[in-house]
Structure 1
Amino acid sequence: MEIRILLVDDEPLLIESLEIILNNEDGFKVVGLKNNGKEALDFIRSEEVDVMLVDLNMPVMGGIELIEEVKKINDNIKIVVLTTFYDESNITSALKNGANGYILKDSGKSAIINAITQAVSGNGVLDNKVMEKLTGLLKNNSETDKNESISVDKTKEGNNHIGSNESEDVNEIIKDFTPRELEIAKLIADGCTNSQIASILFISEGTVKNYVSSIYDKANIHDRTQLVIFLREKIR
């Protein structure tokens, strides 16, 4: 079954080039090219789309607003941000609104293809530069950040954005982490893979996976992207 992709960017040369590249990949089909968020919303109301590659800085309706509106219309559509911007505001706004990935325009072909594939599989994908930015911010959080709560948009059961219900006390969730889970969570936020965590803590990779599953369950999240944003708000 082909993955149906909608490209949304106000740079015609970019999306036309991407269209050629992606259509040459087995299992991929670009079903539309749109220049702004409004055009994209009109398109998904009448056409089937699996994944959207979305720029942030566009006329009429930008990417941040588009992500939020798409999730209201069809939360099953996966959205990968493809942009030149990787400042804190854009990254966190996009991910909190429901973006499934965030990669940069200087990423290679394989990174873009991987981001699409991972998004369809239900996994979050962050560009290395974006991950470095988030983990740097995590380390620099002040003590007062620990008292903030995170708002979450939960539009459908089993599909949560960055955390849990608005009514939940996120600080209580952190308290539920065991010391080992908290240790592993911080290593994940630092960008460590399961294999690296296993080496650092002298435990098996299988044991790490079990701890990660427990962390996801307690925080009511589903992938590393969500976990990094969750921890950025709560843990130094």
Structure 2
Amino acid sequence: MDRLLTLIVDDHPIVVEGLKTLLKNEQNLKIVASFHNGTDLLAYIETNRVDLVLLDVTLPDINGMDLCQIIKKTSLSTIILILSNHTERSIIMQTIQNGASGYLLKNSSLDELRKCISESVQGNICYSREVMEIISRPGRNELRSTPQLTRREKQILSLLAQGKTSQVIADELFLSPLTVDTHRRNLLQKFEVKNVAELITTAHQQKIL
């Protein structure tokens, strides 16, 4: 099998040198270049064959999530593995959605990196053990069960989402402003949020609005 022509992209020179040292004896890889930003990486990919990119998420010019998409548009067959300190589930999922074949934290072992490279060559998505644990935990909004709302609460929620004040809602529904405020407080409690802006965002996420 041909050796994978590999690029390392990280804005910390010490990380780049560390990876080069770590991978120099790998029989299936050939590190052909390293870059500290996305612009230089993209310029290189335009004119050179690249089989594998080891990519950080945080770069000075273009973030790794966006770079995944751009690299895949330029060279669909290039495999991208993310090596990052970011542990946010949303960032991990977004990079995969944008074309990365795997996500590892920078404290991963060489064996985990080898395994991910091998898996990605076979067309699989691969994560380091710690990343697997992060993505197997549901997000905060997924954990919340959808609150049961009364017909009146649904009405008031809908009017709040339209930006109407308690006084306007009270006039429209022929209620006292005090009653509207009570419903509003109950809604905040049911959705476990602090203010109306969060209430509306969460209600949208839970497909209630």
Select the structure with the greater relative contact order (CA < 8 A; seq sep ≥ 6).
1
Distance apart, 1:21 and its partner CA: 2.0
**What CA distance in whole angstroms lies between the structure 2 residues aligned with 1:96 and 1:27?**
27
CA contact (8 A) 2:89 2:139 kept: no
Distance apart, 1:94 and its partner CA: 0.5
Give the aligned partner of residue 55 of structure 2. 54
* SS class of match (1:45): helix
Give the aligned partner of residue 5 of structure 1. 6
> Which structure 2 residues correspond to residues 111-126 of structure 1 after superposition, within 5 A?
111-126=112-127
* SS class of match (2:137): helix
CA contact (8 A) 1:36 1:62 kept: no
CA contact (8 A) 1:51 1:120 kept: no
**What CA distance in whole angstroms lies between the structure 1 residues aligned with 2:64 and 2:11?**
11
Give the aligned partner of residue 44 of structure 1. 45
1:80-99 Cα shifts (integer Å, max 9, x gaps): 00001110221111011011
Distance apart, 1:61 and its partner CA: 1.2
> Which structure 2 residues correspond to residues 52-131 of structure 1 after superposition, within 5 A?
52-131=53-132
**Pair 1:142–1:6, CA change in 2 (3 A):** same
Give the aligned partner of residue 219 of structure 1. none
* SS class of match (2:58): coil
Distance apart, 1:46 and its partner CA: 1.1
Give the aligned partner of residue 134 of structure 2. 133
Give the aligned partner of residue 193 of structure 1. none
Identity %: 31
1:173-210 Cα shifts (integer Å, max 9, x gaps): xxxxxxxxxxxxxxxxxxxxxxxxxxxxxxxxxxxxxx
**What CA distance in whole angstroms lies between the structure 1 residues aligned with 2:103 and 2:94?**
11
Counterpart amino acid of 2:60? P
* SS class of match (2:61): coil
Counterpart amino acid of 1:74? S
TM-score, with normalisation over the residues of structure 1?
Answer: 0.58
* SS class of match (2:54): strand
* SS class of match (2:104): strand
Q: Tell me the number of residue pairs that the alignment of Structure 1 and Structure 2 aligns.
A: 145
Give the aligned partner of residue 212 of structure 1. none
**What CA distance in whole angstroms lies between the structure 2 residues aligned with 1:139 and 1:11?**
32
Give the aligned partner of residue 162 of structure 2. none
Give the aligned partner of residue 173 of structure 2. none
**What CA distance in whole angstroms lies between the structure 2 residues aligned with 1:75 and 1:143?**
38
Counterpart amino acid of 1:29? K
- Unmatched 5+ stretches in structure 2: 147-209
Structure with max Cα Rg:
2
**What CA distance in whole angstroms lies between the structure 1 residues aligned with 2:82 and 2:111?**
16
Which 4+ stretches in 1 moved above 4 angstroms? 142-145
Distance apart, 1:143 and its partner CA: 8.0
Give the aligned partner of residue 14 of structure 1. 15
* SS class of match (1:137): coil
CA contact (8 A) 2:96 2:102 kept: yes
**Pair 1:118–1:96, CA change in 2 (3 A):** same
